[in-house]
Amino acid sequence: MRTKRRLLVLLVAIFGPLVASCGGASDGGAKGSGGIVVFAASSLTEAFTEVAAAFNVINPDAKVTFNFAGSGDLVTQISQGAPADVFVSADDSNMKKLTDAGEVAGDPVAIAKNTFEIIVEKGNPQGIAGVADLAKPELLVVLCAETVPCGNGAAKILKNSNVTVTPKSLEDKVKGVVAKVTTGEADAGIVFVTDVKAAGDKAAGVEIPVDVNVVTNYPVAITKQAANAALAQRFIDFVSGSQGQTILAKYGFLAP
């Protein structure tokens, strides 16, 4: 009996830590805590809001605060010292500006891709059928400024299509184009496919042919000044993982 008892004690001493470790891993291990500020392209607004909710289920002691704006504006804000732990751009060029300036810790990781569509009023009352129609003088067309990814993409699409458009206005973020079309201030614009989807029944989309369309990358990185780099990395891992990717796909984003 004494020999069996000694054997049991020895087994517990050897395998006890391993069992405890396995138990911790089964529920996700240590949870993230504290807060992070995520500067993200405005086209990610709806998707990232849901991503944060799912992230908080796993990390109840963590708080994710977003600053959604045009990627170019976000680069400017971070370069001027605005507190950000994570930056997500809607293109590679704006991320490169931050990396070249030494404002990013580590290499950026691609989390999604996106492409473009013509956004029109609900029911498409102007009967817009393609990019060429945007040149009609009677149409009120709004575009993003070329300093932001949606404007850069729109300019390339128009060039690829040999179409010249005089926009009614140039917006500093894609949501500005969506707002003007959905409120009747404009007839059409060129935005990300995901923004047309997010507008729901307030707008409609007109497909842009693949041969003239543009695909843009969405890279993410931790900023050099991040106050909570550990939680920032946990958030990036979540977005890059299966649950985050499922949410992004739900909103129309393409796999990276």
pLDDT per residue as tens digits for the range 186-234: 999 999 999 999 999 999 999 999 999 999 999 999 999 999 999 999 9
Instruction: Specify the pLDDT at position 62.
Output: 96
Instruction: Specify the pLDDT at position 244.
Output: 98
**Spatial contact of 232 and 85, defined as CB atoms under 8 Å apart:** yes
Instruction: Specify the pLDDT at position 69.
Output: 94
Angle separating helix axes 242-250 and 45-58, nearest 10 degrees: 150
Q: Computed from CA positions of residues 46, 47, 48, 49, in that sequence, does the dihedral angle turn out positive or negative? A: positive
Q: Say whether 114-215 and 33-113+218-250 share the same fold.
A: yes
Instruction: Specify the pLDDT at position 19.
Output: 34
Instruction: Specify the pLDDT at position 30.
Output: 57
- ∠ CA(222), CA(91), CA(180), 5° rounding? 115
From residue 75, give the alpha-carbon distance in Å to each of 88, 91, 195. 10, 12, 21
189 forms bridges with which residues in the sheet?
A: 119, 142
Instruction: Specify the pLDDT at position 33.
Output: 79
End-to-end CA distance of the chain: 61
Which residues of the chain fall short of a pLDDT of 50? 1-29
Which residues have C-beta within 8 Å of that of residue 136, sequence separation ≥ 6?
none
CATH superfamily, region 114-215: Periplasmic binding protein-like II (3.40.190.10)
Pick the CATH number of 33-113+218-250 from 3.40.190.10, 3.50.50.60, 3.30.160.100, 3.30.70.360: 3.40.190.10
Domain boundaries, the chain: 33-113+218-250, 114-215
Instruction: Specify the pLDDT at position 7.
Output: 39
